[in-house]
Amino acid sequence: MGAITIFAEDLPATRSFYTEVFGLPVHFEDESSAVFRFGDTLVNLLDVAAAPELIDPAPVGAPAGHRSVLTLHVDDVDARCEWLLARGVELLNGPITRPWGPRTASFRDPAGQIWEIAS
């Protein structure tokens, strides 16, 4: 997968979240987007006002009701959760060991996207 685009109602807050929580530099930025590189995948934060140009004639959905989770692998889920909590990130769940093996925890970014960390 080359890129994922996430529509953000508050682009500056979402950009800051990605910079601070994921510790990533901005790969590309303009007035309506901020792009971050997660390994070989680009995550494009796009101001929701610019989204219709990208998906028209499909409608832009409301920021409620979730249909995806983006997962990042970390060495120690518990330690990363402590780190996230210290930065004011609210965990949705976890850390928990899943029946299929990995230890996980989930949280939401300011754009409403749910992220999971797993080891």
62: pLDDT confidence band, cut at 50, 70 and 90?
confident
Q: How far apart are CA 65 and CA 86, in angstroms?
A: 27
Cα 34 to Cα 7, 28, 41, 90, 112: the distances in Å are 11, 6, 14, 23, 16
Cis bond leading into 95, ω under 30°? yes
Return the pLDDT at 80.
97
Question: In terms of residue numbers, what domain contains 38?
Answer: 1-59
pLDDT digits (tens, 9 = 90+) for 67-109: 678 999 999 999 999 999 999 999 999 999 999 899 999 999 9
Q: How far apart are CA 98 and CA 96, in angstroms?
A: 6
Residue 66 has pLDDT above 90, yes or no: no
The CATH number for 111's domain is 3.10.180.10
- pTM for the predicted model, two decimal places: 0.82
Residue 12 has pLDDT above 70, yes or no: yes
Do 84 and 110 have their domain in common? yes
Do 83 and 48 have their domain in common? no
Structure tokens at 22: 């994921």
